[in-house]
Amino acid sequence: MKEKKPYKPCDLVIYGALGDLSRRKLFISLYRLEHANLIEPETRITGVDRHEVNTTEFIEIARKSLQEFSSETLIDDVWDRFSARLSYVKMDLTQVEQYKVLNTVTDSNTRVLVNYFAVAPFLFKNICQGLAHSGVLTNESRMVMEKPIGHDLKSSQEINDEVAKVFSEDQVFRIDHYLGKETVLNLLALRFANSIFTTNWNHNTIDHIQITVAEEVGIEGRWEYFDKTGQLRDMLQNHLLQILTFIAMEPPVNLEANSIHNEKIKVLKALRPITSNNVDEKTVRGQYTGGYIKGANVPGYLEEEGADTKSTTESFVALRVDIDNWRWAGVPFYLRTGKRLMGKRTEIVVYFKQLPHNIFKDSFRDLPPNKLIIHLQPNEGVEIEMLNKIPGIDEHIKLQKTRLDLSFSDAFKKNRIFGGYEKLVLEAMRGNPTLFLSREEIEQAWTWVDSIQDAWRHYNESPKSYPAGTWGPIASVALLARDGRAWEE
Ligand code: BG6
């Protein structure tokens, strides 16, 4: 991954600057980059939206958003530096003519234009057309967009086609915020810088791998969006498949964007299709009912604000995934993700194979396998579960499971990335595409996920219910039990 520091100053233009994404994530990320002195002094940030506010009011909205959505206290001189970069332009994004105004607030001679599309995808086409019409784009300009990039292969192709009429592929930066998370990036280091793992990372030594992305939150007032989307498309098509590709890919020849993209695409192409022939045994869909999270009563999915009480959208999904290539032959990957689960937890557990012969029968009838547990969030770190002799001179050899525990916050006091966005916004401004998704990756992921969605539609079964505050429906336990395995709890 090439560090391009210092980088050329930017005109960062945020479309949808008063929307949810900007207020919850972008202002905070930019402020933190400012705090870390990572924004070029000449960089300017322009908010664009359809509401009638002036720059002073916009700056006030940004300040309030920082206070509302971040736990940090603003530091006066950092805030002064940051707010001095901000300006606001009112625009109706559907009106091509209005984009000409961008010529007055950007300067392509001294700054690179970075267009951040923080709006719903139906507006992408308008923005692209408006930008093309405005004459403000150069070969250096970039566009940043994020999920949902479509809701299936066809719609995603339509979006990508529209964008491709105006931006070449190397100008397009598609965000999956999980790729900005420190621990996801650390998977590259863990796998490709440590021979202990490199040499053991295949079907010879690994029995199976579990990936859990559990959320405590429900749908957070996003019924409109979520009910049309469901957990498979909201979380699995992107975040979980991204983690899976990092875990499963072959070593890239280097850290350049193309090398990494190519290896990830090979994994996505090797995913065994889940179709109506096997969807029953390979997938579980769930929907939460009311329950308790951290002692508080929370409503069920169908009781959420604005709910359609007949909805069969899934808020939980568990899958058995098989990768048809040499490395992973016979090694299932079990993926699960859901809202309103018992805790917020993103982790990968690698189960190594059991040893063929047990000489410690006094301690264990079957020797438990070694496990590598990678905590992505919260409490980022890596643990290895192994067997050790219980100390004591009068004891015969008796074994006990123990864990080697490496907590990243203890090991590295400095340079923590907060969420995923800071890193990604910075890389977009730097023009480094490594952590962004290629068009082919996204389309390949949709191809695989569409087949599951089609199979579900074919059977038209209701999701299995689970009480909020549990680990999902019982059927998810059965998914692994059928293979003689159990989820890591
Ligand atoms: C988003 C999903 O992409 O990721 C949300 O749309 C989800 O539904 C969120 O809650 C989870 O992100 P994180 O960083 O909190 O794990």
- Please tell me whether residues 188 and 74 are part of one structural domain: no
Our mutation pick for probing the ligand 1 site, out of 232, 234, 237, 348, counting the most ligand atoms within 8 A of Cβ, is: 234
Q: What is the DSSP string of 408-475?
A: HHHH--S----SSHHHHHHHHHHT-GGGSB-HHHHHHHHHHHHHHHHHHHHHTPPPEEEETTBSS-HH
pLDDT given for residue 352 in this prediction: 97
Name the E strands within 205-342: 206-214, 283-289, 291-293, 296-298, 316-321, 333-338
Q: Ligand 1: residues whose CB is within 6 Å?
A: 177, 215, 217, 234
Contact 423, 175 (CB under 8 A): no
The DSSP result for 101-150, as a single string, is GHHHH--TTTSEEEEEE-S-GGGHHHHHHHHHHHT---TT-EEEEES-S-
Neighbours of 470 (CB within 10 A): 19
487: which residues sit within 8 A by CB, 6+ positions away?
210, 212, 334, 336, 471, 476, 477, 480
Instruction: Give yes or no: residues 194 and 330 share one domain.
Output: yes
Domain extent at residue 476: 179-417+438-481
Q: What is the per-residue DSSP string for 158-194?
A: HHHHHHHTTS-GGGEEEE-GGGGSHHHHHHHHHHHS-
205 found inside a domain: yes
Is residue 215 located within the same domain as residue 123?
no
Q: Same domain, yes or no, for 299 and 395?
A: yes
398-431 confidence digits (pLDDT tens): 899 999 988 877 777 765 656 689 999 999 999 9
- Shared domain for 128 and 187, answered yes or no, is no
- Alpha carbons 346 and 419: distance in angstroms, whole number: 13
**The pLDDT of residue 2:** 47
Point out the domain boundary residue: 146, 169, 191: 146
Q: Do 129 and 185 reside in the same domain of the chain?
A: no
Which strand (E) or helix (H) includes residue 250? none
Instruction: Give yes or no: residues 251 and 296 share one domain.
Output: yes
Ligand 1 centroid to 235 CA: how many Å?
7
Per annotation, catalytic residue among 239, 261, 357, 375: 239
H or E, element range at 476: helix 474-481
Q: Which CATH number does the domain housing residue 98 bear?
A: 3.40.50.720
My answer on whether omega of the bond before 41 falls inside 30° of 0, hence cis, is no
Q: How many angstroms separate the Cα of 54 from the Cα of each of 30, 80, 107, 259, 381? A: 20, 18, 21, 45, 45
Residue 174 lies in a domain: no
Decide if 341 contacts 213 (C-beta within 8 A). Answer: no
Q: Are residues 318 and 379 in the same domain?
A: yes
Assigned domain for 159 exists: no
Q: Rounded to the nearest whole angstrom, what is the distance from the C-alpha of residue 354 to the centroid of ligand 1?
A: 35
Q: Are residues 192 and 319 located together in one domain of the fold?
A: yes
Residue 152 falls within a domain, yes or no? Answer: no
How many CA atoms lie less than 13 Å away from 137 in the CB half-sphere? 19
Residue 171 covered by a domain: no
Helix (H, G, I), strand (E, B) or coil at 287: strand
Does 432 map to a domain? no
For the question of residue 239 being annotated catalytic, the response is yes
Q: Which atom of ligand 1 is nearest to the CA of 239?
A: 3
Atom of ligand 1 nearest to the CA of 238: 3
Which residues in the chain land under pLDDT 70? 1-6, 414-419
CA of 317 to the centre of ligand 1 (A): 15
Instruction: Specify if 433 maps to a domain.
Output: no
Predicted confidence (pLDDT) per residue in 59-103, tens digit: 999 999 999 988 888 999 999 999 999 999 999 999 999 999 999
Q: What is the pTM of this model?
A: 0.93
Number of domains in the chain: 2
Residue 72 Cα to ligand 1 midpoint, Å, equals 21
Question: Which atom belonging to ligand 1 lies closest to the Cα atom of 176?
Answer: 3
Q: Evaluate whether residue 156 is within a structural domain.
A: no
Using alpha carbons, select from 176, 172, 207 the residue that is nearest to residue 371. Answer: 207
Which of residues 104, 122, 146 is at a domain's end?
146
Closest-lying ligand 1 atom to the alpha carbon of residue 215: 10
CATH of the domain at 315: 3.30.360.10
Which pLDDT score, from 0 to 100, does residue 417 have?
56
* Rounded-to-integer distance, Cα 10 and Cα 110, Å: 8
- Same-domain check for residues 264 and 340: yes
Q: Do 112 and 187 belong to one domain?
A: no
- For residues 137 and 200, membership in a common domain is answered with no
